[in-house]
Amino acid sequence: MVLDFGTSGIKVSQIGLGMAALGRPGYINLGHNNDLNNNYDVEAMRQHSHAVLDVAYKSGIRYIDVAQSYGKGEAFLASWLESKGHNDVVVGSKWGYYYTAGWQVKTDVHEIKEHTLDRLNSQWADSKLTLGEDLKIYHIHSATFESGVLENFSVLDRLEELRAEGYIIGLSITATRQSEVLEKAMSIQIGGKPLFGSVQGTFNCLEQSARDALQQAHDNGLGVIIKEGMANGRLSLRNEQAAYMEPLKSIATRHGVGVDAVALAYILHQSFATVVLSGAARADHLVSNLDALQVELSADEVALLDSLAMKSEDYWGERSQMQWI
């Protein structure tokens, strides 16, 4: 299904593909190393990402999410777009983190946050050169109060310049203060107009704390992109011993789909969700994720999944302990 992206005037698919697990050897998804067959040769990974992108496009996906910190994610995506000649794919990228892992899985630091004007200008130039006219949405990567980015007027003014050129300016939000950060972002106006037209937030069966803020963003005309719908693999059978997996397995059996489809169907059920990202690093996993579009959850099933919500502090505490593999 193709939907309006907020009030921006562009069209996006209801499910998008995020390239966090496709553009670099290491990531925090459970089983990520197995998804890549432990083959981290650059050309092998480029071909692997192209194969997943082919399945995504054939399945109707028209929104692709990437970031400067996703290793060679932008380059892999750009080479795929060039080779296929597709002109109906909307690309969103992000600035503010830069990749430091040196194409290694095990390293002390995988990425560093820097929300400065110099970093914005350099990463924008790189993303624009790589992605060209396909780049439509540009997000601050993990905006927080601690980074000061929402009070950095030189950065905000530069983002306004990009908005005036026709780009949709957004932010991704993370951790326990998602709602507060989003509320602050929605209050920012330049020239009498809201700066932000997009938000990418974490929402899933386990982390539901930003529900009201995401709904408000939707009601205010922002396009709402949901990331981490599978909780970095914690809502998959790779984590089937977790007690919260039992309701998902029961509902999945009832509908004849995988637990991943149920987890994503729950997000699709939310009225605020414009795009729900699949973070699949394998084509078969992506196809299974797409089954979510066919799942009609009952009111009782939605209520059961609602009941799985964790304390936000516990969710993010668990996530912070996950290993890059």
Flag whether 100 is in a domain. Answer: yes
For 258-269, what is each residue's pLDDT tens digit? 999 999 999 999
CATH code of 293's domain:
3.20.20.100
Please report which confidence band the pLDDT of residue 1 belongs to, taking 50, 70 and 90 as the band edges. Answer: confident
Residues contacting residue 34 through CB under 8 Å, at least 6 positions apart: none
Q: What mean pLDDT do residues 87-110 have?
A: 96
Residue 304's pLDDT is what? 98
Separation between Cα atoms, residue 55 and residue 225, nearest integer Å? 21
Flag whether 2 is in a domain. Answer: no
Q: What percent of the chain has pLDDT over 70?
A: 100
For 174-216, what is each residue's pLDDT tens digit? 999 999 999 999 999 999 999 999 999 999 999 999 999 999 9
Q: What mean pLDDT do residues 265-277 have?
A: 98
Flag whether 3 is in a domain. Answer: no
Flag whether 96 is in a domain. Answer: yes
Residue 10's pLDDT is what? 96
Domain that holds residue 42: 9-321
Q: How far is CA 22 from the centre of its chain?
A: 13
pTM here is: 0.97
Flag whether 4 is in a domain. Answer: no
Q: What is the total count of domains within the chain?
A: 1
For 130-154, what is each residue's pLDDT tens digit? 999 999 999 999 999 999 999 999 9
For 28-80, what is each residue's pLDDT tens digit? 999 999 999 999 999 999 999 999 999 999 999 999 999 999 999 999 999 99
Please report which confidence band the pLDDT of residue 2 belongs to, taking 50, 70 and 90 as the band edges. Answer: confident
